Structure 1
Amino acid sequence: MGFDWLLRCPLLPGMKIICYADDTLVTARGKTFEEVCRLAAVGTSLVVDRIRMLGMRVSISKTEALLFHGPRRGPPRGAHIAVQGTVIEVKPCMKYLGLTLDGRWKFETHFKQLEVRLVKAAAALGRLLPNIGGPESVCRRLYGGIVRSMALYGAPIWVHSLTPVNKVLLRRPQKIIAVRVIRGYRTVSWTAATLLAGDPPWELQAEVLAEVYQYRALMNAQGVLAGADEVRRIRTLAQSVLVERWKEDLESPIAGSWTVLAVRSHIERWLKRKHGTLTFRLVQILTGHGCFGKYLHQTARRELTPVCHQCGATEDTAHHTLAECAAWSPQRHILSSTIGRAVSLPDVVDAMIGSETCWTVMLSFCETVMGLKEAEERAREEAADAPLIRRRRQGRRRRRYAHLLPP
């Protein structure tokens, strides 16, 4: 009833009142800054008086003012409006209904503030999701959905303002929570982590939400109630476009190419599969980040060389462990016999998606092989003659010994 009382009051041309929840927004449109200021001051004063007539009090000092403008018509320095003796400064941005608006609708401040909140939320939830043990995949996806929902709030409003800088601000928290969902090393790239987690880039998911919203808004404008089946059809079409665009983006990945090469051609089946959970040791093979000589040498900086300690090969990688290392021939023979083809990651992933049995055998291979590699790595770390760089230390352990590594 209170909002009704406000919305029905007579207004001057160019003025409008918008009420939602416990927020009241007064908008004013004009050709010059002075004209807009006069209309805004009159409209705000009118709203304050109407609220007071309802027996409520208004703290005018808490009112915020923002000018929407073009690239060359910003507010003058010291711009303000006066409402019943209170000076209200025209600020560069204003928070309204959970979104931080700015005068150019670029949402730069919004995404900077949002990134901080998302990183904190992702880190807090990540502490509940250890690599070994902890919640199962359903719970992990639920936690990932919490952070995603926070990120995509208001997406139909800001989706068309996504600059490269804003996309980067969204991708950092997405990577943090995706790494925890897949039980991966924190060094896993955003590309690989989101692909394995089945979580498309948030900027693409924002476009799906915007597509559905625009359809509903169009139907409402025509006085037609959008049916659930039709909305579902629009959402399905938008998601299909999302997957195709995601595949295009993955054609030339900057990072995570080992993972992308294996999963990209099966991405639809990967997203829709009904079986198969990711484990810490399986993800090491799928990402190449784990107990491999090359990773320990180049990324973790804990080995002097990338050599394979099991067979003596010059470079130990995920591919070498999966398909070449002679030390794991018995386990590889079982895997090859099950999938019915030579062992390569793309073929293994294809078989895993198509058969729960193949997925289970691949899990067994990874648990056995990576478990033995990890045990040998710990033994090397604890050896009395181990190089200082290899020994396991707490805290800031690597910078003191980085000079021991070859350039």
Structure 2
Amino acid sequence: MRYLGLTLDGRWSFGPQFAKLAPRLESAAAALGRLLPNVGGPDSLCRRLYVGIVRSMALYGAPIWCDALTTKNKTLLRRPQRVIAVRAIRGYRTVSWTAATLLASDPPWELQAEVLAEVYRFRSSLRARGQVPSADQTARVRAQAQRALIHWWKEDLESPAAGPETVDAIRPHLRHWVRRRHGCFGKYLHQIARREVTPACHECGAPIDTARHTLEECAAWGPQRHALVAVIGGDLSLSSVVRCMLGSERC
């Protein structure tokens, strides 16, 4: 049975709902993705807007179905989220769901569904008692639910299945990262894009060119590295750099 845009089944499992929703989300994400090339194209604000469009489609009716989120249903939600998140960060198809959503500051949609459900339950409970929730009350409950979301997301990132370096760099600063308003390296161009014969650095000749190599070792970037160290200190680990980026307007 279909009611107010939701497909209901006798067991309230919402399996048919997600089975129909997933192709629509993937089509929408792919269509919007064609407007978001890796090089050039809309700026970050426009890309965040497109992410929001697909997210809104995905989370319609979330307070009703969030308690029925099975592993299968979560997978159906994560596929389109990854597609649009990759476009938002100007990434490539090889970027994992974990890394793409983290870089895009877009928490897992199943966790965002919990936030919507918490706000809905609060408002419903007051109305059941004949009270009208104020805007301030609703904002406080939403803020509390958002803090819980960050906590849940941080726990989920303790043992990432993919993108461990990205997670290690951002996870310690997750709360600040999601509040803040991407070059190719030899290793990627060689192993993934197949555009280089070797993963070597074109600047200094090092055998493997990675983001970490550029940040910490490459002699060609010595002056810039010296200036960076003068500002943030000698610790150039990804986690330290991200912390300084988030904590200083100068960085």
TM band (smaller chain): over 0.9
Alignment of 1:154 onto 2:154:
no
Corresponding residue number in structure 2 for 1:260: 167
The Cα shift of 1:266 comes to 0.7
Aligned with 2:128 (options 221, 225, 234): 221
Aligned residue identity for 2:30: A
CA-to-aligned-CA distance 1:144-171 (integer Å, 9 cap, x gap):
1111000000001110111111111101
Corresponding residue number in structure 2 for 1:355: 248
The Cα shift of 1:261 comes to 0.8
Corresponding residue number in structure 1 for 2:116: 209
Q: 5 Å matches for 1:15-94?
A: 94=1
What is the CA–CA distance in structure 2 between the aligned matches of 1:232 and 1:246, rounded to whole Å? 21
What is the CA–CA distance in structure 2 between the aligned matches of 1:305 and 1:315, rounded to whole Å? 8
The Cα shift of 1:221 comes to 1.3
Corresponding residue number in structure 2 for 1:344: 237
Aligned with 1:141 (options 48, 57, 68): 48
Aligned residue identity for 1:99: L
What is the CA–CA distance in structure 1 between the aligned matches of 2:236 and 2:186, rounded to whole Å? 18
Structure 2 alignment gaps of length 5 or more: none
What is the CA–CA distance in structure 2 between the aligned matches of 1:173 and 1:266, rounded to whole Å? 26
The Cα shift of 1:302 comes to 4.0
The Cα shift of 1:125 comes to 1.5
The Cα shift of 1:344 comes to 2.3
CA distance 1:355–1:190, shift in 2 (3 Å): same
Corresponding residue number in structure 2 for 1:389: none
What is the CA–CA distance in structure 1 between the aligned matches of 2:43 and 2:208, rounded to whole Å? 34
Corresponding residue number in structure 1 for 2:22: 115
Corresponding residue number in structure 1 for 2:74: 167
The Cα shift of 1:311 comes to 3.2
CA contact (8 A) 1:292 1:318 kept: no
SS of 2:8's equivalent in the other structure is strand
Alignment of 1:297 onto 2:204:
no
TM-score, scaled relative to structure 1? 0.58
Aligned residue identity for 1:353: L
What is the CA–CA distance in structure 2 between the aligned matches of 1:319 and 1:197, rounded to whole Å? 20
The Cα shift of 1:303 comes to 4.1
Aligned residue identity for 1:292: G
What is the CA–CA distance in structure 2 between the aligned matches of 1:238 and 1:133, rounded to whole Å? 36
What is the RMSD computed on CA atoms of the aligned residues? 1.8
What is the CA–CA distance in structure 2 between the aligned matches of 1:336 and 1:149, rounded to whole Å? 42
CA contact (8 A) 2:186 2:198 kept: no
Q: 5 Å matches for 1:379-394?
A: none
Identity across the alignment (%) = 65
The Cα shift of 1:299 comes to 2.6
SS of 2:38's equivalent in the other structure is coil
- The answer to which structure, 1 or 2, has the higher relative contact order (CA under 8 A, 6+ apart) is 2
The Cα shift of 1:326 comes to 2.2
What is the CA–CA distance in structure 1 between the aligned matches of 2:104 and 2:63, rounded to whole Å? 24
Structure 1 alignment gaps of length 5 or more: 1-93, 275-279, 282-289, 359-407
Corresponding residue number in structure 2 for 1:287: none
* Structure 1 or 2: more helix by fraction: 2
CA-to-aligned-CA distance 1:356-382 (integer Å, 9 cap, x gap):
321xxxxxxxxxxxxxxxxxxxxxxxx
Alignment of 1:97 onto 2:15:
no
TM-score, scaled relative to structure 2? 0.93
SS of 1:175's equivalent in the other structure is helix
